[in-house]
Amino acid sequence: MKRKIIPVLVAIVLIIIIGAVGIGSVLIEKYSYSDERADLNEYFGVSGEQLAIVLQDEIVEEKAILRDGICYFDIDTVHRYLNEGFYVDRTEGLLLYTTAAEIISVPIGGTTVNVKTAVNGTAQTQELGYVAVLEEGGNLYLAADYVKRTTNYSVDIYDRHVQMYTRWGTKTVDSLTKDTAVRVRGGIKSPILSDLTAGAQVEVLETMETWSKVKTEDSIIGYVENKLLANTSKGQAETIEEIPVTDYVAPEYTSVAMEGKVSLGWHAIGGVGGNSTLDSMAAGANGMNVIAPTWFSLNDEEGNFRSFATKDYVDRAHALGLKVWGVWDDFNYNYETNSSVSVGNVLGKTSTRQKLVANIISMAVELGLDGVNLDFEKINEETGAHYVQFVRELSVECRRNGLTLSIDNYVPYNFRDYYRLDIQGQVADYVIIMGYDEHWHGSGDPGSVASIDYVSYGITKALEAVPAEKLMNALPFYTILWKTEGSKVTDEYLTINNTADFLSRVKITPQWDEETCQNYAKWTSGNIAYQIWIEDEQSIAAKLSVMATHDIAGVAVWRLGYGTDSIWNLIRGYVGQ
């Protein structure tokens, strides 16, 4: 009997042992730490000379490249994360950067920086010892060190990635209690990114139940167990202040502003003979302290403009106590001659753009102007970057010559963001919103020229980008009479000073419309339906009230000769004269 039992017992023991071994293997497999190592190229998504970019505490999609020991970022990355002030002139092969007082340029592929304090001045040169801007496959790459010359950020280069910081605050840090691995994800089976020794310090980015997301001193972002973090495991992680980088101190944008609020009147001048109307226009504008004659218009693509200006006009205006801001536009010459001058061709080429700036300043100084009023209305998205660079360069020259720079703008809807009110608000002295043309001549869409909501929106939206002490709103001294006959809509202008007489002649009494804050009238005569949203003393008072509430820098009017004494008295009260 014993002989029969022994083999059975042996078999049972063997089965138990085998089962235990199997269970043990499963348990060991389940609870043992994986020693699989992550492929760092795959983890960072890089190959060849690419470097991943860790921005603050996040790996971003964009990549840097390492060339001859120099780290380069493509220009879109620089614009998006570091500094959007770099401007590319593809035509002349230049990269430019404009500060408050200097224009800095470097040839694409070059190693020499040129710094000018005036667009027509002599450049000071500096040899960098490396290529500042690479061009490959139509893409531009800027050296990280070159970007640092005009940008406050830090960059550290590692084997497969770079760490960049553009802002600094506080961070949570902790140290490891024993040697451990930083893993791709929270879990002992996750692949290893990096090995750390006991005492190594990490930045704790996020703490979960048993694992924490950390960043190592060489900016590897992964996970370690909470139990291995000396203070986090006790709920006592340390928060420290980060040390900001201050390698670059941006120059101050000084302003050539007027004391008190501005009251500007545009003086529409269609020829030299129009200058003789100065005295009559000024006499009818009680409280105006700036007159802006529409003298200059682009007339070729070489940086020149036609002029109706005279020094005598400036001297007479000064004798009347008025500042004179000459107006430069990009459209009147086209209308006058039925020709086509491409503003994009002028501004998109550095040599012609800077020639235009130099010519503007030379003319302003020769005439004794107090300021430059820029009225470029033909800018589109394609030419937006060229226009912004033009504004920057013009601001340097105006500042250097003590000229007030004001810039006219449409009401800032998002589809016109390329006018960049935020940059204008930094570099210009005044940003003027043309608070009219809500409905415009020839649009075929009857409606108000400037309802109160339209004006309020323009001011409020502009104030998101422009300081109140630099923002002005322009008022219309005209309205539009709309005529609808069947499906055909036509219109004609009425100036404020002749609207009352017109309404009297047609025997129409308008009614106040609270929605638009304008007097409104609608009537028919024969087969024609008429509509008019009237600009008058009441509507202008409502607009000035909105402007006063926001305490903006002043008012402009289009145009002189269209107003009434009562409305000019309102404006005089608004500017505090």
pLDDT at residue number 118: 86
In a domain, 38, yes or no: no
The CATH number assigned to the domain holding 379 equals 3.20.20.80
Distance in Å from the first CA to the final CA of the chain: 126
From 177, 207, 241, the end of a domain falls on: 241
Domain range for 366: 262-477+536-575
Task: State whether 112 and 176 are in the same domain.
Answer: no
**Section 125-143 average pLDDT:** 96
In a domain, 470, yes or no: yes
Question: Among residues 31, 29, 256, 64, which one has the least CA distance to residue 142?
Answer: 64
pLDDT at residue number 18: 63
pLDDT at residue number 66: 97
Tell me how many domains the chain contains: 3
Helix (H/G/I), strand (E/B), else coil: 295: coil
Task: State whether 297 and 235 are in the same domain.
Answer: no
Task: State whether 174 and 124 are in the same domain.
Answer: no
In a domain, 531, yes or no: no
pLDDT bin (cut points 50, 70, 90) of residue 192 is very high
**Section 459-470 average pLDDT:** 98
Whole-number Cα distances in Å, 546 to 456, 505, 541, 552 = 7, 33, 9, 10
Question: Among residues 183, 196, 164, which one has the least CA distance to residue 33?
Answer: 183
pLDDT in tens, 343-384: 999 999 999 999 999 999 999 999 999 999 999 999 999 999
d(CA 382, CA 95): 18
Task: State whether 204 and 156 are in the same domain.
Answer: no
Asked whether the predicted pLDDT for residue 29 surpasses 60, the reply is no
pLDDT at residue number 121: 82
Residue where the block lists tokens 């570091």: 82
pLDDT at residue number 1: 54
pLDDT bin (cut points 50, 70, 90) of residue 27 is very low
Task: State whether 156 and 199 are in the same domain.
Answer: no
In degrees, rounded to 5, the angle at the alpha carbon of residue 475 between the alpha carbons of residues 327 and 360 is 10
- As beta bridge partners, residue 485 has 488
Q: Which two tokens stand for residue 141?
A: 């790459």
Task: State whether 157 and 205 are in the same domain.
Answer: no
Sign of CA dihedral 158, 161, 162, 168: negative
d(CA 526, CA 268): 36
d(CA 122, CA 78): 28
d(CA 479, CA 492): 9
From 108, 134, 161, the end of a domain falls on: 161
In a domain, 501, yes or no: no
In a domain, 231, yes or no: yes
For the chain, the average pLDDT equals: 95
Task: State whether 395 and 329 are in the same domain.
Answer: yes
pLDDT in tens, 70-82: 999 999 999 999 9
Asked whether the predicted pLDDT for residue 574 surpasses 80, the reply is yes
d(CA 321, CA 54): 58
Beta strands in 385-527 (DSSP E): 404-409, 430-434, 471-476, 478-485, 488-495, 511-513, 518-525
What are phi and psi for residue 40, nearest 5 degrees? -65, -30
Give the predicted TM-score (pTM) of the model: 0.93
pLDDT at residue number 485: 97
pLDDT at residue number 252: 92
In a domain, 435, yes or no: yes
Question: Among residues 194, 342, 287, which one has the least CA distance to residue 571?
Answer: 287
pLDDT bin (cut points 50, 70, 90) of residue 7 is low
Asked whether the predicted pLDDT for residue 396 surpasses 70, the reply is yes
d(CA 573, CA 549): 14
In a domain, 416, yes or no: yes
Task: State whether 149 and 280 are in the same domain.
Answer: no
| Structural contact between residues 431 and 471, judged by C-beta atoms closer than 8 angstroms | yes
Task: State whether 307 and 455 are in the same domain.
Answer: yes
Task: State whether 149 and 179 are in the same domain.
Answer: no
Asked whether the predicted pLDDT for residue 8 surpasses 70, the reply is no
Task: State whether 107 and 234 are in the same domain.
Answer: no
From 161, 194, 220, the end of a domain falls on: 161
Q: Which two tokens stand for residue 240?
A: 């420290």
- ω into 316 cis (within 30 of 0): no
% of the chain at pLDDT higher than 70:
95
In a domain, 522, yes or no: no
Asked whether the predicted pLDDT for residue 182 surpasses 50, the reply is yes
Task: State whether 139 and 285 are in the same domain.
Answer: no
